[in-house]
Amino acid sequence: MRSKFSLRRQFLAGVLGASLASLAIAGSVNATESGVVHEVKIHKFKFVPDSLEVSLGDQIKWINMDIAPHTATAKDKTWNSGRLKVDESYVLEVTADMATNYFCRFHPNMKATLTIK
């Protein structure tokens, strides 16, 4: 009897956890739908554009169009796309305290900036 009860509790906790998780996902999708998505192409070893104006809540999407791998990495390393292969992309939401200077870890001469309006 006791074990049956605790099994049921575990089941309920699982259902509750799952619904909370889906609520959280739905919430974040709604929040981002209101913002703008800015595309930055990584092309011929350059970020295009290499200077971009963004607003809080916007998203920035980097797309690697080169055969060579690249990254988009904050100068202070607080955010990082990781290694992007050709056609791979990375999306980041603009926050007030985010680092606005970034570069490519594989090609440190590749640099770009964000300006938060």
Q: Shortest approach of Cu ion to residue 26 CB, angstroms?
A: 35
Task: Give the contact letters, 54-93, x = binds to Cu ion (CB under 5 A), - = no.
Answer: ----------------x-----------------------
Kindly give, in sequence order, each residue whose CB lies less than 8 Å from that of residue 63, ignoring residues fewer than 6 positions away: 39, 40, 41, 42, 87, 88, 89
Measured CA to CA, the distance from residue 26 to residue 81 in angstroms comes to: 23
User: Is residue 106 part of the contact set for Cu ion (CB under 5 A)?
Assistant: yes
User: Which among 59, 58, 36, 62 has a CA at the least distance from the CA of 49?
Assistant: 62
Q: Shortest approach of Cu ion to residue 53 CB, angstroms?
A: 23
Q: Shortest approach of Cu ion to residue 105 CB, angstroms?
A: 7
**Residues at the interface with Cu ion (CB under 5 A):** 70, 104, 106-107, 110
